[in-house]
């Protein structure tokens, strides 16, 4: 998979959220989007997911502009901003509901993903009783469970304790080894030091590539 972001800008009325952003993202790598809150990271993630349309420029998935094709990015799953599920369903029931949209996976894959992210003991607990960390794990689970080619995670370690964060880092590195294209956004650069192959710094809509130290 190759995602090409070509001269993309995004304006909201008189606010320039992104200005002339270009980058190429490829399978088998983890990319870090680093910047303070409001710097444009989440806007670009939403553009890549086709939740928003660029004001100028284009985003291509293996050469295809999905917005012009009136389609969705292929084999892409994302957790953007805070996880949000149905409060009166259990964690497992929420994942089952999402899985029924495309019917690509069954009970086995859902159970394996719940185990992988560390939610097995609370899979039958109602979502409104979940802690912040549990909600975050469930959000990551819905990204992983259908084995997509592109994984997009906004502030993935938010609310996770040290052991859980370590587990998620290990999962993401294994996904990279399997050839996935992974995008991680954070306002804390240290979170990404062990994971990312390339960094992009966001500063009030201006995006620059940074050398990995």
**Residue 51, pLDDT score:** 94
Instruction: Specify whether 71 is located in the same domain as 14.
Output: yes
**Residue 194, pLDDT score:** 80
For residue 88, give its domain range.
84-147
Instruction: Specify whether 104 is located in the same domain as 162.
Output: no
Instruction: Specify whether 66 is located in the same domain as 88.
Output: no
Main-chain dihedrals φ then ψ at residue 167, nearest 5 degrees: -65, -45
**Residue 192, pLDDT score:** 77
Instruction: Specify whether 125 is located in the same domain as 160.
Output: no
Question: Residue 30's beta-bridge partner residues?
Answer: 182
- Catalytic residue, from 146, 155, 177, 211: name it: 155
**Residue 210, pLDDT score:** 87
From 127, 147, 167, give the residue that closes a domain. 147
Instruction: Specify whether 129 is located in the same domain as 188.
Output: no
Q: How far from the centroid of its chain's Cα atoms is residue 24's Cα?
A: 17
Question: pLDDT tens per residue, the chain (213 residues)?
Answer: 999 999 999 999 888 999 999 999 999 999 999 998 889 999 999 999 999 999 999 999 999 999 998 888 999 999 998 889 999 999 999 999 999 999 999 999 999 999 999 999 999 999 999 999 999 999 999 999 999 999 999 999 999 999 999 999 999 999 999 999 999 998 777 767 789 999 999 999 999 998 766
User: How many separate domains does the chain show?
Assistant: 2
Q: How far is CA 168 from CA 16, 113, 137, 138, 191, in A?
A: 34, 12, 9, 12, 12
Q: How far is CA 91 from CA 77, 80, 137, in A?
A: 18, 18, 10
**Residue 213, pLDDT score:** 63
Instruction: Specify whether 6 is located in the same domain as 68.
Output: yes
Cβ atoms 183, 41 nearer than 8 A: no
Main-chain dihedrals φ then ψ at residue 33, nearest 5 degrees: -105, 115
**Residue 193, pLDDT score:** 78
Cβ atoms 146, 69 nearer than 8 A: no
Instruction: Specify whether 23 is located in the same domain as 68.
Output: yes
Main-chain dihedrals φ then ψ at residue 181, nearest 5 degrees: -100, 120
**Residue 70, pLDDT score:** 87
Within a 10 A sphere around the Cβ of 106, how many other Cβ atoms? 10
Establish whether 155 is a catalytic residue: yes
Instruction: Specify whether 66 is located in the same domain as 9.
Output: yes
Predicted structure pTM score: 0.95
């Amino acid at each position: 998979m190759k995602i090409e972001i070509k001269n993309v800008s995004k304006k909201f009325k008189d606010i320039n959220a992104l200005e002339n952003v270009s980058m190429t993202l490829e399978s088998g790598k983890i990319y870090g989007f680093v910047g303070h809150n409001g710097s444009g990271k989440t806007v670009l993630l939403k553009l890549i997911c086709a939740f928003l349309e660029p004001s100028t420029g284009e985003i291509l998935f293996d050469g295809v502009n999905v917005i012009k094709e009136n389609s969705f990015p292929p084999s892409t799953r994302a957790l953007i901003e805070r996880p949000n599920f149905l409060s009166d369903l259990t964690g497992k029931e929420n994942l089952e509901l999402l899985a029924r949209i495309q019917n690509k996976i069954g009970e086995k894959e859902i159970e394996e993903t719940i185990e992988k992210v560390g939610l097995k003991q609370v899979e039958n607990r109602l979502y409104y009783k979940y802690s912040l960390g549990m909600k975050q794990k469930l959000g990551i689970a819905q990204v992983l469970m259908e084995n997509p080619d592109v994984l997009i995670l906004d502030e993935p370690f938010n609310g996770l304790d040290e052991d859980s964060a370590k587990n998620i880092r290990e999962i993401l590195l294994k996904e990279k080894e399997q050839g996935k294209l992974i995008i991680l956004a954070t306002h804390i650069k240290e979170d990404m030091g062990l994971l990312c192959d390339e960094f992009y710094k966001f500063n009030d809509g201006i995006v620059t590539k940074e050398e990995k130290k």
